[in-house]
Amino acid sequence: METSIIIAGFGGQGVLFAGQLLAYAGMDAGKNVTWIPSYGPEMRGGTANCTVIISDQPIGAPIVAQPDVAVVLNQPSFDKYVNLVKPGGLLLVNSSLVTSVCGRDDIQTAYIAANTLAEEAGNVKLLNMALLGALLARRPILTLEQLEQSLVNHVGASKAHLLELNKQVLQRGYSCQ
């Protein structure tokens, strides 16, 4: 099975890290993966997105025109990707920042107050983890435990103090229905 995921938002929201973490977790689980980041020249606040493909089989091409899943962290990303999600796919929306409602009935849409979940846990910057947790609850391409172990395996020493908090926010997002 192959799943293509686009994660999009502003720079500084952890878009690229979320995609990279998914890719690492997929690799650690023995799957084939691709991760392609894309970002504007701004250090913070510019556009950022990444494409991740996780597959049990070799991946033919890393380019995705219609993703199976789009995780949108802000309004411009919602506007750009809402109509690109493949029929039968999933649109995960950070409802803390996105005010629009998806009018499509051929995809599953979940509205997660990611900023709020992360802030309640103690650090709003971990909003990306809330959305990754929500993603795995709806599309079990990996287990929550695999993603948590990938955090342990791949987060650098300078961010090690945030491991437990990252796990808490992942679990909060996973539990959010």
10-residue mean pLDDT profile of the chain (177 residues): values are 95 91 96 91 75 96 94 96 97 96 96 96 94 97 95 83 90 91
The structural domains of the chain, ordered by start, are: 2-175 (3.40.920.10)
pLDDT of residue 39: 79
pLDDT of residue 43: 60
Q: Which amino acid is at 96?
A: S
pLDDT of residue 42: 61
User: Which residue do the tokens 């919602």 mark?
Assistant: 78
pLDDT of residue 12: 81
Rounded Cα distance between 168 and 10, Å, is: 23
2, 57 in Cβ contact below 8 A? yes
Q: DSSP string of 23-61?
A: HHHHHHTT-EEEEEEEE-S-SSSSEEEEEEEEESS--S-
pLDDT of residue 44: 63
Q: Could you tell me which of 20, 57, 55 has the C-alpha nearest to residue 147?
A: 20
